[in-house]
Structure 1
């Protein structure tokens, strides 16, 4: 027995282990939906209160024996729940992530409610360079962004929670960095829900700040009472010559350029340069994939690229820091400062000079 154990320990990653991992990938859509079902029905939350038998779960939640036993078997084999010798189920550390870890919850709801259906169109999306999965929700649309206000409430809730979760806790630090340069004006391109503007107005109620975004979003966000002092411009940055205001001071693009292909990013930066005076500073805030401390963060970011493929636009991704710096140079700008470890999710702020 000892000799066999020694051989197993030193033989590395075996074909059998590879097959087990392969089956985990094959059946991952099923366990994903199983966890969703356990959350919907209250099973995971009930088990977490105290170890409990399958029969008591059926009683307390009024769910059939078939449903309870089937989802519990699936959850157990994937390590989401455990079962002791007395037949009592408990939630594992992995399972608790879906109940209490905010990043896991936000990511799960986003994938489930915004991406899951569209992911089936990944091949066509790559071939056509269009978000073919978007048609699962809205048949007539080239990109997701103008359609967001028309999406279902659960789609919008999951999308905005995901989008805001990562970048919102960066804004105070970003404001302090930019404000230390004493710009007369702030321009936020792709301002979304106005998170950065709200922080700026709290920090400095007299600030001169403008948000530039698509018309559909501006129509919604401009009604926010917290943003009465903010100026708004409806601009489509994908146009060859977008109708930009005269820009000076500081420009921020927070998690905005990852919504575009490399060619589009270069054109956006070139158009900003044309519309700005030469003293303007351009700030790019991104969670670059090659600048992450935690493996879970890097994994999440790389997989988010596939959301852009299937659902958002068909041609963008989460970029490496080295890629973005090269695009800045290609557009005729220069990276003058790099601020790292912004917020709690390893964001990087590139300060660029024209």
Structure 2
């Protein structure tokens, strides 16, 4: 058989090539990030179809010809750039690296928050502790560290967190307020964005935010600036995992957004048990999260799956991006009944509404 028609050999070579991409992935990541951050992609895009030669790129960016050459050739190898008549032009991949908000948020998060710490991923897996977090200081989890992290790291962390959660809040609000809750407990309130949207959406609801004191201090500043202090209150809790630390009770709705993924399965079980105690009779628990096995697009599943090592190395050492079936099982074991599941909110979020098994199947206004 003519070798050029030997598809098996081509498949082997392609597989070996893909393996080399993985081997050199950290090099490519940093070089392409600099193509973006040093404005090389920007000036090439501005030049349009003719493209730019190395000397022109160097002149417009202030980067040496040597530096431009090194970075552009890596970009060429990864289909970020193409070259014709010694002029570099942007490909579609380069366009997304420069202009796509999802790509920007992910890249900044990986570089600023995760990159150094991921070197200790092996330690984190061996110990069940976020060993990579030590690059920023001595904390048990990244949530305790957030208010102390360098400003650039904080900015990238919150941008990543908010990019995914904020897109789903407007879609989720009607599901929550169709049930007319008068009181809502926001567990893991972060910077207070959901609480603010709740009181804007519904004039009758009162929201209690529960989180670490450092996080609530930031949330309180945001809420005061919006003028909603009389309808949003704080409930600081120093350790969410302390089973003896009580949750406030009597709420019509308990809300958890991108929260349970921050914990191990055993910890999730404990948190759900305590959330059950926080509900008033006929109350509803709402869980908003992203599950990689319920995504419509491969891009979303890829991003979610590869966010898990962040939780291992940096966040807490023992959580991950879960499959829906895993969370479903934990909800059931905690004594809840799933009333509804709605997919496709925001950036691939799923909203689960639960009630306790002791509640009647009837809604409050039936």
Scaled by the length of structure 2, what TM-score is found?
0.92
CA distance in 2, matches of 1:39, 1:342: 30
Query: Is 1:280 aligned with 2:278?
Result: no
Any conservation in 1 of the 2:262–2:319 contact (CA below 8 Å)?
A: yes
1:306 is aligned to 309
CA distance, structure 1, for counterparts of residue 46 and residue 232 of structure 2:
47
- Residues 25, 162 of structure 1: alpha-carbon distance in 2 compared, 3 angstrom cutoff: same
Q: Which residue does 1:179 correspond to in 2?
A: 177
**1:299 positional shift:** 0.6
Is 1:22 aligned to 2:19, yes or no?
A: yes
1:348 corresponding residue in structure 2: 350
1:81 equivalenced with 2:81 (yes/no):
yes
**Residue 37 in 1 paired to residue 29 in 2?**
no
26-35 or 221-230: bigger deviation = 221-230
Aligned equivalent of 1:48, options 45, 48, 59: 45
Does structure 1 residue 265 correspond to structure 2 residue 288? no
Q: Which residue of 2 aligns with 1:231?
A: 233
CA pair 13-127 structure 1, distance change in 2 beyond 3 A: farther
Distance 2:271 2:60 in 1: 57
CA contact (8 A) 1:262 1:316 kept: yes
Q: Please give the secondary structure, in 2, of the residue aligned with 1:277.
A: strand
Q: CA separation in 1, counterparts of 2:174 and 2:296?
A: 24
- Structure 1 contact 242–271 (Cα < 8 Å) conserved: no
CA apart distance, 1:233: 0.4
Other-structure match for 1:101: 100
Paired residues of 2:254 and 2:279 also in contact (CA < 8 A) = no
Contact 2:250–2:280 under 8 Å retained in 1: yes
2:174 and 2:77 mapped to 1: Cα distance?
A: 48
- 1:290 counterpart SS class: helix
Q: CA deviation at 1:3?
A: 4.8
Is 1:69 matched with 2:66? no
Q: CA RMSD in A?
A: 1.4
Once residues 343 and 296 of structure 2 are traced to their aligned partners in structure 1, the CA distance between those partners, rounded to angstroms, is 11
- Structure 1 residue 199 displacement after superposition: 1.2
**Aligned-pair distance for 1:5?**
4.1
Whether the aligned pair in 2 keeps the contact of 1:45 and 1:99 (CA below 8 Å) is yes
Give the whole-Å Cα distance in 1 for the aligned partners of 2:9 and 2:129.
Answer: 41
Aligned residue for 2:168, secondary structure, equals helix
Q: How does 1:328-339 map to 2 (within 5 A)?
A: 328-339=331-342
Q: Distance in 1 between matches of 2:292 and 2:151?
A: 30
Structure-2 separation of matches of 1:42 and 1:272:
48
Partner of 1:197: 195
Secondary structure in 1 matching 2:339: strand
CA separation in 1, counterparts of 2:166 and 2:60? 39
1:187 deviates by 1.2
Which runs of 5 or more structure 1 residues have no equivalent in the other structure?
Answer: none
Partner of 2:146: 148
Q: Distance in 2 between matches of 1:293 and 1:171?
A: 19
* 1:14 shift after superposition: 2.5
Q: C-alpha separation between the residues in 2 aligned to 1:348 and 1:13? A: 41
Quick one: distance in 1 between partners of 2:285 and 2:175?
A: 12
Residue 115 of structure 1 corresponds to which residue in structure 2? 114
CA contact (8 A) 1:187 1:247 kept: no
Q: What is the distance in 2 between the residues matched to 1:327 and 1:278?
A: 21
The aligned residue for residue 360 of structure 2 is none
Please list the CA deviations of residues 38-78 of structure 1 after superposition, one character each: whole Å capped at 9, or x if unmatched: 12221111111111001111222232221111111111011
- How much has 1:118 moved relative to structure 2? 0.5
Using structure 1 for the length normalisation, give the TM-score. 0.95
Q: Which structure 2 residue ranges, 5 or more long, are not aligned? A: 357-366
